[in-house]
Amino acid sequence: MKILILGGSGFIGSHIVDQLLEQGHGIRVFDRSRERFRPTPAGIEFVAGDLSDTSSLIEALEGVDMVFHLVSTTVPATANMDPIADIRGNLITTVRLLELMRAQDVKRLLYLSSGGTVYGIPKCDPVPETHPLAPISSYGIVKATVESFIRMESEQHGLRAVILRPSNPFGPRQGHGGVQGVIGTFMRQLAHGETMKLWGDGSVVRDFIHVRDLARLCLACAEQDITGTFNAGSGQGHSMREIIDSISRVSGLPVKPTVRPGRAIDIPRIVLDIAAARETLGWQPRISFTDGLRENWEWVLRQRDAVS
């Protein structure tokens, strides 16, 4: 297949590129810039552009069989600061994308939603895909609304779509700006002798998935030509305190974070039920949490040493 990856230069996108290349698929990456941590792999067609640039997007859609939509201009914290920008940058651009795909007869879409925010405060543990959507943040509200527009496009115009709801991906090549990716951010701060910031008492529990496991699931969705909505997680929860202790063990360094007040956007606990992806796609996570942490720490050290 020829697959257009919107956001293919990013953290998750770069690992999806690896999986698709390995299986011989044609890849066109549409992003504002090339990959940050490595040269663009051979065989990749790169198109520079922004989702708000309709003419560039029309060009990028030409001749493709499927679109992977990985782009988000916000993260949960920044979305709440400016919900209008969140709507403009993510909801409106995606609705326009759906219209352009219809016009160019591109019938297949994979969309990365958010398993950590669309459900809101869970009523059960773990959380299945059938759980009501009740997000408590702008980020989750926009993601859930995009899902609704995708389902409408599927019902009315025959779009064949897969919606994945990832938990918290982690692994090599994740940016460390301090606003998303707690594992990568904590590790970078530790490696550079900076103080970690812990929001709340450390009891918040999250489900973490290694980025290569998520990329394998995206590949399976493309190659099996299925439709539907699937959680993408590990099915296990780790508290922020457990994360800090685990990073300390993996690195061999003491970790003493600065404690800040808890945030209203932080759901106390969410762990995803991944039975549907396992049963429908024959997929399950392969990389253990500890092995993933160890690999990530080694990568962070290499990045630090490369620029020092």
Task: Name the amino acid, one letter, at 206.
Answer: R
CA–CA distances in Å: residue 154 to residues 91, 98, 266 = 17, 10, 32
Q: What three-state secondary structure class fits 168? A: strand
- Which alpha helices (DSSP H) does the chain contain, by range? 11-22, 54-61, 76-81, 83-86, 93-103, 138-157, 182-191, 211-223, 240-251, 275-281, 289-307
Bridge partner list, 68: 5, 110
Q: If you average pLDDT over residues 242-260, what whole number do you get?
A: 94
Are 21 and 222 a contacting pair, CB within 8 Å?
Answer: no
Give every CB contact of residue 191 below 8 A, 6+ residues apart in sequence.
251, 297, 300, 301, 304
Q: Which pLDDT score, from 0 to 100, does residue 29 have?
A: 98
Which of 166, 156, 289, 161 minimizes the C-alpha distance to 232?
Answer: 166
Alpha-carbon span 142 to 99, nearest angstrom? 18
Distance CA 244, CA 203 (A): 11
Under 8 Å between Cβ of 116 and 206: yes
pTM to 2 decimal places? 0.96
Q: How many Cβ atoms are within 10 Å of 70's Cβ, its own excluded? A: 21
Pairing of strands 160-166, 108-112: parallel
By CB atoms closer than 10 A (0-12, 13-18, 19+), residue 200 is middle
pLDDT in tens, 22-75: 999 999 999 999 999 999 999 999 999 999 999 999 999 999 999 999 999 988
pLDDT single digits (tens) 73-126: 988 888 989 999 999 999 999 999 999 999 999 999 999 999 999 999 999 999
Instruction: Report how far residue 270's alpha carbon sits from residue 200's, in angstroms, rounded to the nearest whole number.
Output: 16
User: What's the average model confidence in pLDDT over 276-283?
Assistant: 98
């969140």: which residue's tokens?
86
